[in-house]
Every structure is written in structure tokens, then in C-alpha cells.
Amino acid sequence: MSHDYEQVDVPDGEKVTYDEDAEELVVPDNPIVPIIYGDGIGKDVAPVAQKVLDAAAEATGRDISWMRVYAGESARDKYGENLPDDTVEALREFRTSIKGPLTTPVGSGFRSLNVALRKKLDLYTNMRPTYYLEGVPSPVKAPEEMDMVNFRENTEDVYAGIEWEAGTDEVEQVREFVEDEMGFDSTIHDGPVGIGVKPVTEFGTKRLVRQAIEYAIENDRDSVTLVHKGNIMKFTEGAFRDWGYELAEEEFPEETIDEDTLWEEYDGEAPEGKVVVKDRIADNMLQQLLTRTGDYDVLAMPNLNGDYLSDAAGAQIGGLGIAPGANLGDGRVLAEPVHGSAPKHAGKDKANPSAMILSGRILLEQLGWDDAADLVHDAVEQQISSKRVTYDLERQVEGGEKLAASEYAEEIVENIHDLA
């Protein structure tokens, strides 16, 4: 039964549904898609990104029925709370959605509104594709070698939020348990201490790695790399590695091959149609992002590793200002840019909407509209190559011309019309 929406309108259009047997979305040509503009620059970049996505949909014979919903500051104005039921239920019911950046206010009751949405909707994967667009200034010599998709676990590890504050009775109980009951008597220094618990489960690990391997198979990627710190944290991150290999062997024995077998039986040359599953220690992987960029396709990581690695990868292709992302669950998608709300730039029509637009590209891919998604990619790249860009890129590009965010998006729409 549909939720009774109190303060938002449900537009004409059809629902995206989920076929549990086929494990795939069933998408009409006129889907209802909830959109949260977000806080700060979200109010600048989301509406113009919406126009770009509309153009790509229309150019391929489809139509998006946008459903405006609210979170953060706009929700406080409309509902008196940060995350109203209308919003959560819209994202749940209509399955595919997109949002701008949200700022979690002090004393809001949430560690993060973004994390709250991921947990409420069980969006257990944060997917961040990282690829170079021609013309974007980069700090590295060969940014075009970066073409990587990061699958970061979204609900466990440090994001589970299990910790105790120094000086509380609770933290002393935990200290006593760890030292006296469990026998780690030399682990914790005397004096104030904060303690956190880092849960990594077989269930959480395997469903993340499953998505990563499925993506690699469907998109003709050569490898999936499990990134962990299992040499030190043997029973959490080491278990993540072991459960990842176990999942590959159990569920994808015909489609995958591990790295040991690759070298022992095939002299390092993967057989046709096989995805190589390998693992790397997290600190080494940060180095290899720079030194052996082209050796990696898909990374699967616990939460904190994924946070570090995806931001570092984003830096190589020009920074988080153009980095797209999406949160994925079973039959559910919430696309969002990686960057924050940058409130000092809000309302000035100057913030670069590329990350929001390219997050919309992921949304289109998840809808199965690859032709529309390709139009978005090519139109954005064409615009950046023209050097008619927003202020953040213009100041780094020789001969660049500064455009307002709305002007930049309008020209991307024109590019879509020309390319279609």
C-alpha cells in the first residue's frame, strides 16, 4: 500500500518495481523519481542537474516524473524535522532517487543525515565510479589511466557507530571487560580513553562483494580487488578478505579466478571471460592507486578503507567537485555526489554541478538507460573540453571562460541535443 504523503505531491508517472526472482528493477518509460535538492549548494546544483537528466531522457524517448521531497534545512522549514517520514517512504516506495549534499546540524539527533538514509533504506553499498574526463585539470601526469569503480560497505565498520566516550561509566565498564574478562591487560593505557567497536560481518561482507563481482561481470571488468588491513586486524578486515574469496568461490566459480591460480596455472594471463579476484593491503593500495593505476578495475572494501581510497582516487581525476556516487541496496538506488554542501557558496549560481549530473548518470544506468547515460557523459566531457566551465575549473584552465552553474548546465543540455 502506498504511503499517505502529507506535504508532497506524487506526480503522474509509474513506479519502478523490483522483480525479486530475477533480482532486477522493472522500469517504465515514465518512472517517478524522488529528488532531494539538499542543503547549501545543493539548491544550486540539483535543479540544473535535473534539467540535464530530463534532456537525456527525452532524447532517448523517455520521461522522468520528478517527485520533490525534503531533508535537512528544507525539511525543517516544511516539517519541523530533518528527515520526515514522507521522504523516507518516497525513497523506499519509488526505489530509484537522487539527492544533493546534506548538512547534519549540531544536536540533530543524527550522526549524519546521509548515513541515516543509508541505514533506514538498507543501502549497504556506496558505489563511486572514478574516471577521467578530457580537459579536467589533474595533479597527476596520466589521469586517463584511472577508470575504477569503488564498492564501499555502507553500514558496518566505523559507520556502525558503536563507541563510548572517555570519562563515562560506560567506557570504564568496557575497559574493565576488555582487560579483566577478555585478558587484554596491556592493551589500553591508563587515563581517559575512548573505545569503539568495529563490526565486520560475513553477511555484510558477502552482499557487498556479490554486488562488486556482479558489476564486474556485467560491465566486462577484468578484476575485483578486496582492500583490507587484515595483516593487523585479522578477525575483522582479515575476515572481510576471507569471506570475499569464499563468496567468489561459492557463487561465481565459473566466472572468477583467484590471483594465485592466475599465476600458477595461466602465467598471469587471465582466461577469456574470467574476472580475477585479488586482495591488497589498504596502505599498499593507496600507493598503487598512483603507481599502478591501470592494474585495477573494481575495488571492494570495508567502510573506512573505502572512504579513504575513493577520495584518493577522486583526487587523481580532478577532485571531489566532479566525483559522482550512489548508494545501492537490493532493488533500490539513491544517487548522490561525493562533495559536501559548501554553504559559503550557496545561492550564488557558481558551484560546479558536474558531480550531481554524473551521479544522475549512475541513476540512468541503474534504470537500464545506458544510451541516456552515455549522452550525459559525452555532453559533460564535451563541455569541459570547450573550456566554458564553472569558476572552479576556469581558474585552472588556460584560456578558460567562466560560466554560472545554470549557464554551464544549459550548454550541456545543448550538447545532448547535438549528440542525440
Q: Does 152 show up as a binding residue in the annotation? A: yes
* Of 75, 80, 65, the residue nearest 34 (C-alpha): 65
And the C-alpha cell for 39?
A: 542543503
Cβ pair 315, 139 in contact under 8 A = yes
Domain edges within the chain: 1-127+321-420
- pTM comes to 0.92
**H or E element: which one contains 255?**
none
pLDDT number for residue 374:
97
Residue of 307, 350, 392, 408 marked active site: 307
CA atoms within 13 Å, Cβ hemisphere of 354: 28
Cβ pair 136, 100 in contact under 8 A = no
Q: Does 76 show up as a binding residue in the annotation? A: no
Cβ pair 69, 91 in contact under 8 A = yes
pLDDT number for residue 109:
55
CA 127 – CA 301 distance, rounded (Å): 11
Which amino acid, 35?
I
Residue of 119, 229, 274, 350 marked active site: 229
Task: Look up 159 and say whether it is catalytic.
Answer: yes
Q: Does 307 show up as a binding residue in the annotation? A: yes
Q: Does 395 show up as a binding residue in the annotation? A: yes
Reported as a single tens digit per residue, the pLDDT across 330-367 is 999 999 998 888 888 889 999 999 999 999 999 999 99
Q: Does 128 show up as a binding residue in the annotation? A: yes
Q: Tens of pLDDT along the chain (420 residues)?
A: 578 898 999 999 999 999 999 889 999 999 999 999 999 999 999 999 999 999 999 999 999 999 999 999 999 999 999 999 999 999 999 999 999 999 866 555 566 788 889 989 999 999 999 999 999 999 999 999 999 999 999 999 988 888 999 999 999 999 989 888 888 766 788 899 999 999 999 999 999 999 999 999 999 999 999 999 999 999 999 999 999 999 999 999 999 999 999 999 999 999 999 999 999 999 999 999 999 999 999 999 999 999 999 999 999 998 877 899 999 999 999 999 988 888 888 899 999 999 999 999 999 999 999 999 999 999 999 999 999 999 999 999 899 999 999 999 999 999 999 998
**Taking all residues of the chain, what is their mean pLDDT, rounded to a whole number?**
93
- Topology adopted by domain 1-127+321-420: Isopropylmalate Dehydrogenase (3.40.718)
pLDDT number for residue 338:
87
CA 108 – CA 112 distance, rounded (Å): 9
Residue of 70, 159, 215, 408 marked active site: 159
pLDDT number for residue 218:
94
Residue of 122, 258, 283, 295 marked active site: 283
pLDDT number for residue 1:
53
Task: Look up 229 and say whether it is catalytic.
Answer: yes
Q: Does 82 show up as a binding residue in the annotation? A: no
Task: Look up 147 and say whether it is catalytic.
Answer: no
CA 97 – CA 1 distance, rounded (Å): 19
Cβ pair 2, 343 in contact under 8 A = no
pLDDT number for residue 108:
52
